Structure 1
Amino acid sequence: MSCRGSLGGILQRDEDFCLRNPTVIRVSPPYLSTLQLGCKEDAGRVLASCNWEEEQGQGVAASLRMAEEDAVLSTDPECSRAPPAETPTVKELEELLNTGRPSCNHVDEVWPNLFLGDLVTAHNRFGLWKMGFSHILNAAHGMVFCKGSHGFYGPTIEYYGVPAYDLPDFDLSPYFYPAAEFIHKALSIQGAKILVHCAVGISRSSTLVLAYLMIYHHLPLIEAIEAVKKHRWIFPNRGFQKQLRNLDMQLRQH
């Protein structure tokens, strides 16, 4: 899958902010379901910009790249090279986040057995079963458009919900350690796979994945972002970036 045009900066706002004017975006096969987002303007800029046509051979090439990168991670999972000397500024973070080609995949494996995705993936219970997911972390728990809950998934999937809003003034940091622990425990189980998602899989969920990599794999913030961006385009809102900077500074003191 590919995406045309730059999405930089459009997710500085809440994915839920425009829910006063809901719209339903139809998603092409093989995802025969609907994705309800905040407003037509934001949803259109995220999903309508995507080129949903299949490109022959691209899936095979992506799989090969992923296998090569996983092999590197397996030999050096904590990226033991020397960390950056200082915590980056918000401006430096935004410049880094704006690099690379935006991805419009519904779900991507960003770390071995750790996947970042959107509501289309999270609401497709048959697809989750087919992909072998055993754990789900929902960073949009309780939102009006989100079905995720213990009851929705049943006993075959371990569920953890974080009731976060994608607003710059929402404090996501109290969930950094509990969410990271949930991810860590899931990945400690042989054969387990975990999906971390929010509405679009770009801001809230990516922030929690970055926090996990920083806490449990001791990656500096810059390296955590680079590790995830190899597989998926992400853009935590500015408030979340500041909270990740604070976490980076705290972890450097230990």
Structure 2
Amino acid sequence: DGESDRELPSSATESDGSPVPSSQPAFPVQILPYLYLGCAKDSTNLDVLGKYGIKYILNVTPNLPNAFEHGGEFTYKQIPISDHWSQNLSQFFPEAISFIDEARSKKCGVLVHCLAGISRSVTVTVAYLMQKMNLSLNDAYDFVKRKKSNISPNFNFMGQLLDFERTLGLSSPCDNHAPSEQLYFSTPTNHNLFPINTLEST
């Protein structure tokens, strides 16, 4: 099940049994003004949501409930995607980006979360930065990683982001393969670095 094969609650351990790095905050990370990246636990903590003025919640999972959906205090959008190589997350980029924009235009905090805030929610956040800030995949990924070091979208999602970069025209036609030679990222199960150009062989 893609829902549980990569991500675990941030209060537990990563899938190899190693503790989550203590340097990681146990609360949402602010990526941009009003934009927060977090985990499932953050989405159910009223104190956290209130502290950061979060009124919009983007739930990038198929099964996790929207805890306060019926109270009327929060606006939700759910993207029913598992963290699995077969999933097409990019089809939801436009509506996810519009949802984030709506919140930020109203000066409301928006929390983007999946289960552990490592793969799916990171992919959506990177896509948002690419479109709204005209950042390349490399730059958007690095921007998020500087804020939250334990990120690791799966290979398939990275490939979708690479396609999104080309769709946005952020890489020149004569340099289509340059980003794949420059971007490195780690998986949550080990801390080795993998070049994104390995995507071309998958």
Normalising by the residue count of structure 2, what TM-score does the alignment of the two structures yield?
0.73
- Number of the residue aligned with 1:148: 66
Q: 1:136 aligns with which of 57, 78, 93?
A: 57
1:198, distance to aligned residue in structure 2 (A) = 0.4
Distance across 2 between alignment mates of 1:183 and 1:103: 24
Which one is further off, 126-135 or 224-233? Answer: 126-135
Q: 1:211 aligns with which of 120, 127, 130?
A: 127
Answer yes or no: is 1:42 the counterpart of 2:30.
no
1:129, distance to aligned residue in structure 2 (A) = 2.2
Kindly provide the amino acid, as one letter, of the partner of residue 157 in structure 1: F
Deviating beyond 3 angstroms after TM superposition, the runs of 4 or more aligned structure 1 residues are 102-106
Change (3 A) 1:151 1:168: same
Task: Give SS of 2:29's match.
Answer: strand
1:130, distance to aligned residue in structure 2 (A) = 3.1
- Number of the residue aligned with 1:201: 117
Change (3 A) 1:113 1:214: same
Tell me the percent identity: 31
Task: Give SS of 2:57's match.
Answer: strand
Change (3 A) 1:196 1:181: same
In the alignment of these two chains, the number of paired residues is 170
- Number of the residue aligned with 1:230: 146
Query: Which stretches in structure 1 are left out of the alignment for 5+ residues?
Result: 1-12, 28-34, 52-101
Matching of residues 6-17 of structure 1 within 5 Å: 14-17=2-5
- Number of the residue aligned with 2:31: 110
Answer yes or no: is 1:180 the counterpart of 2:151.
no
Q: Which of the two has higher C-alpha Rg?
A: 1
Change (3 A) 1:215 1:253: closer
Deviations along 1:122-179, whole A, 9 cap, x unmatched? 1112331233211110101x32xx2226635x21111111011001221101101110
Deviations along 1:171-212, whole A, 9 cap, x unmatched? 10110111011111111113x111100001010001001111
Kindly provide the amino acid, as one letter, of the partner of residue 177 in structure 1: P
Answer yes or no: is 1:247 the counterpart of 2:168.
no
Kindly provide the amino acid, as one letter, of the partner of residue 85 in structure 2: P
Answer yes or no: is 1:119 the counterpart of 2:40.
yes
- Number of the residue aligned with 1:75: none
Change (3 A) 1:150 1:245: same
Task: Give SS of 1:230's match.
Answer: helix
Contact 2:59–2:112 (Cα < 8 Å) also in 1: yes
1:253, distance to aligned residue in structure 2 (A) = 7.3
Distance across 2 between alignment mates of 1:229 and 1:244: 15
Kindly provide the amino acid, as one letter, of the partner of residue 216 in structure 1: K
Query: Which stretches in structure 2 are left out of the alignment for 5+ residues?
Result: 172-202
1:18, distance to aligned residue in structure 2 (A) = 7.7
Task: Give SS of 2:99's match.
Answer: helix
